[in-house]
């Protein structure tokens, strides 16, 4: 124990992070991420926005049942129907929190809510009281706090504290603030709001000007004791404050911060990879802490210095953030029990024997092609097993011919709603030919916005993990596929994206009003 204050880490990867284009997660994916966050000892996991859709409700419910050591939180606008839905979804949580919010800035109140400040204040108080009927752990957020008048916010916070909020969150919803200003705002609020000492003050910063982490840390220096953040900085528009950067800044600069987190930092890199793999958002190589280059020393001078004494150029150790957690896990001779045991160790609970058998069959196929199977391979394999369960379009066969001087051609067989369809097409390259052959069957009309390939582990026999982003009628989805053959991985990713884009959309965005 450090004897310092506790800095609460509130992860919103599965709520605000999920608001990134195409990053929607299924119930199973959320449970896997939640288990990884729990292993990392995240204090609060915001699992979603239960009123958004039946799928979101079920996902929050499943996370609430699966997680025992972290608090599970559901988001609710300051509306009875939202709060009731969140309360219902969290019923089985060992520790559940309702996070309710309403905008307090003149621009949002006038144009979005069409409400007077007095109506907003009244609704905020009513929402907190209603949420308290479900749990003692209620958080209130003043959306767009950055552009709200401080005196009005003080009144709203005073009243919501009196109504029973335990955490008061101050969001920079549009990523407009600067570190000095944000810290000053937090300090002013804590000094001015009556009973400020009865609640935890929280900060929630967006990254539109690249300031989310700096602003969050400035708020912590001014007295905030909860930071809302996401793995890999995922989130609406330019994202949220990145969890790994906030946590490591507080840890590395313990000489400056008077508080400490409870995070097991060795879980950072594995969790970052899991989130990237599930959402289809690759991590940029030069990203702090979790980027592939974060601990790579390219220049000769740096290498020399690091070999003589690591501290010459490194302020933290790669193994402290989980770079060496990449364990060789299983091989060709590993049996079903070893496979099941390793899945359990990395927090994957497959739903029943059938799912385990399907995943094990895939594992054996992969082990024939690749001698060493790592945890990242297992994560990709399990994702595919879940994906395929509900997909209308499946890839049964693919053959691609590619040679110098000729146009590549693809032949394939798809199963669409149980019916076999064959197709062939030529293209500019093997991937283009495969995508054209798929489109000749599906005729989706979707536009390919992004295509990227990354290796899951190192070595030329590594699986390639392909992400495609598809757009149709303004809707964006990400599709993923993994295989030791990157053309097959590409076809799988494209089909995964098509399956998502063909599903009817029923989700509601939390910051859209429908009263
Ligand atoms: O950015 C924001 O204001 C939010 C709130 C819902 C807390 O995400
Ligand atoms: Zn936000």
What is the number of the ligand closest to the CA of 172? 1
Closest ligand 1 atom number to CA of residue 16 = 8
Q: Is the CB of 171 under 6 A from ligand 1?
A: yes
Contact at 8 Å (CB) between 296 and 252? no
> pLDDT below 70 — which residues of the chain?
1-2, 297-307, 325-329, 505-506, 513-515
**CA–CA separation, 366 vs 292, rounded Å?**
25
What's the confidence (pLDDT) of residue 389?
74
Distances 76 to 51, 73, 101, 138, 197 between C-alpha atoms, Å: 7, 10, 7, 11, 25
Q: Which helix (H) or strand (E) holds 373?
A: strand 373-374
Alpha carbon distance 446, 474 (integer Å) = 10
- The vertex-296 CA angle with 376 and 213, nearest 5°, equals 80
- The CA-CA-CA angle for residues 249, 250, 255, to 5°, reads 105
Residue nearest to ligand 1 atom 5, measured at CA: 143
Interatomic CA distance for residues 20 and 478, integer angstroms: 10
CA 113 to each of CA 51, 99, 348: distance values in angstroms, whole numbers, following the listed order = 18, 19, 42
**Is the CB of residue 143 below 6 angstroms from any atom belonging to ligand 1?**
yes
Strand partners for 96? 72
**CA-closest candidate to residue 440, choices 471, 397, 411, 405:** 411
Q: What is the pLDDT of residue 336?
A: 86
CATH code for residues 5-279: 3.20.20.70
| Residue 207 near residue 241 (C-beta atoms within 8 A) | yes
Our measurement of the distance from residue 328's CA atom to the centroid of its chain's CA atoms, rounded to an integer in Å, reads 25
Closest ligand 1 atom, residue 144 Cα: 3
95/73 Cα distance (integer angstroms): 9
Over the Cα atoms of the chain, what is R_g? 24
Q: Is the CB of 49 under 6 A from ligand 1?
A: no
DSSP state, residue 463: P
Q: Are 472 and 500 in contact (CB under 8 A)?
A: no
Structure tokens at 498: 């098509």
Residue whose pair of structure tokens reads 């003692």 in the numeric block: 136
Q: Report the predicted TM-score, pTM, of the whole model to 2 decimal places.
A: 0.91
Chain centroid to CA 202 = 20
Contact 206, 175 (CB under 8 A): yes
Ligand 1 atom with the shortest distance to the CA of 228? 7
DSSP-assigned beta bridge partners for residue 202: 169, 226
pLDDT of 300:
57
Torsion angle in degrees (nearest 10) through CA of 87, 89, 93, 98: -40
C-alpha of residue 365 to centroid of ligand 1, in Å: 44
Question: Mind listing the pLDDT tens digit for each residue in 16-71?
Answer: 999 998 899 999 999 999 999 999 999 999 999 999 999 999 999 999 999 999 99
Between the CA of 15 and the centroid of ligand 2 the distance, in Å, is 9
In 3D space, the residue among 250, 207, 210, 209 whose CA is nearest the CA of residue 226 turns out to be: 250
437 burial type by CB count under 10 A (0-12 exposed, 13-18 middle, 19+ buried): buried
The pLDDT, as a whole number, for residue 356 is 87
Please give the Cα distance from 431 to 425 (Å, whole number).
11
* Burial zone of 104 (CB within 10 Å; 0-12 exposed, 13-18 middle, 19+ buried): buried
464 Cα to the center of ligand 1, angstroms: 35
SS3 227: strand
Residue with tokens 């030069």: 286
Residue 287 structure tokens: 């990203």
204 in contact with ligand 1, CB cutoff 6 A: yes
Residue position matching structure tokens 């190589």: 285
Length in residues, the chain: 515
CA of 72 to the centre of ligand 1 (A): 17
**Is ligand 1 within 6 A of the CB of residue 84?**
no
Q: Given CA atoms 20, 268, 378, 284 in this order, what sign does their dihedral have?
A: positive
User: For ligand 1, is residue 77 a contact (CB within 6 Å)?
Assistant: no
Structure tokens at 258: 């008077």
d(CA 207, CA 213): 8
Contact present, 395 and 376 (Cβ < 8 Å) = no
Would you state the pLDDT for residue 83? 98
Contact assessment for residue 258 and residue 221, using Cβ atoms and an 8 Å cutoff: no
Are 17 and 46 in contact, with CB atoms under 8 Å apart? no
What SS3 state is found at 424?
strand
- The C-alpha angle with vertex 427 and arms to 422 and 431, in degrees rounded to 5, equals 80
Contact in structure between 348 and 378 (CB atoms under 8 Å): yes
Q: Identify the burial level of 112 via C-beta atoms within 10 angstroms of its C-beta, where 0-12 means exposed, 13-18 middle and 19 or more buried.
A: middle
CATH (residue range 388-502): 3.30.160.270
């Amino acid at each position: 124990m450090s004897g310092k204050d506790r800095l609460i880490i509130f992860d919103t990867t599965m709520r605000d992070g999920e608001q990134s284009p195409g990053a929607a997660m299924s119930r199973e994916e959320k449970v896997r991420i939640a288990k990884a966050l729990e292993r990392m000892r995240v204090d609060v996991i915001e699992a979603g926005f239960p009123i958004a859709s039946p799928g979101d409700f079920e996902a929050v419910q499943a996370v609430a049942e699966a997680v025992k050591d972290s608090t599970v939180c559901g988001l609710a606008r300051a509306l009875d129907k939202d709060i009731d839905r969140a309360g219902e979804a969290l019923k089985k949580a060992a520790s559940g929190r309702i996070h309710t919010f309403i905008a307090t800035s003149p621009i949002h109140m006038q144009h979005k809510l069409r409400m007077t400040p007095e109506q907003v204040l009244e609704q905020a108080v009513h929402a907190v009281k209603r949420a308290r009927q479900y749990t003692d752990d209620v958080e209130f957020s003043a959306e767009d706090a950055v552009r709200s008048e401080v005196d009005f916010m003080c009144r709203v916070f005073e009243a919501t504290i009196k109504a029973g909020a335990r955490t008061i969150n101050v969001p920079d919803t549009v990523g407009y603030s600067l570190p000095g200003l944000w810290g000053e705002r937090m300090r002013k609020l804590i000094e001015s709001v009556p009973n400020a000492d009865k609640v935890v003050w929280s900060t929630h910063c967006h990254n539109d000007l690249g300031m989310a982490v700096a602003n969050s840390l400035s708020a912590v220096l001014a007295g905030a004791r909860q930071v809302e953040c996401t793995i890999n900085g995922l989130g609406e528009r330019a994202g949220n404050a990145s969890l790994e950067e906030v946590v490591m800044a507080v840890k590395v600069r313990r000489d400056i911060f008077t508080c400490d987190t409870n995070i097991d930092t060795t879980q950072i890199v594995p969790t970052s990879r899991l989130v990237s793999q599930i959402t289809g958002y690759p991590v940029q190589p030069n990203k702090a802490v979790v980027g592939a280059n974060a601990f790579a020393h390219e220049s000769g001078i740096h290498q020399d210095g690091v070999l003589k004494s690591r501290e010459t150029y490194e302020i933290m150790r790669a193994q402290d953030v989980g770079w060496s957690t990449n364990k060789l896990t299983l091989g060709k001779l590993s049996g079903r029990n070893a496979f099941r045991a390793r899945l359990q160790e990395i927090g994957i609970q497959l739903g029943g024997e059938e799912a385990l058998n399907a995943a094990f069959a895939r594992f054996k196929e992969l082990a024939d092609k690749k001698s060493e199977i790592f945890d990242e391979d297992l994560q990709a394999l399990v994702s595919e097993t879940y994906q395929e369960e509900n997909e209308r379009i499946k890839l049964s066969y693919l053959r691609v011919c590619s040679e110098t001087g000729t146009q590549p051609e693809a032949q394939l067989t798809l199963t669409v709603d149980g019916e076999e369809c064959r197709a062939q097409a030529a293209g500019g390259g093997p991937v283009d030919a495969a995508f054209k052959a798929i489109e000749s069957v599906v005729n989706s009309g979707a536009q390919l916005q992004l295509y990227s390939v990354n290796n899951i582990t190192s070595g030329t026999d590594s699986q390639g993990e392909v992400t495609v982003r598809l757009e149709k009628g303004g809707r964006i989805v990400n599709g993923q596929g993994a295989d030791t053959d990157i053309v097959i991985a590409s076809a799988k990713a494209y089909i995964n994206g098509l399956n998502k884009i063909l599903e009817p959309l029923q989700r509601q965005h939390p910051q859209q009003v429908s009263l």
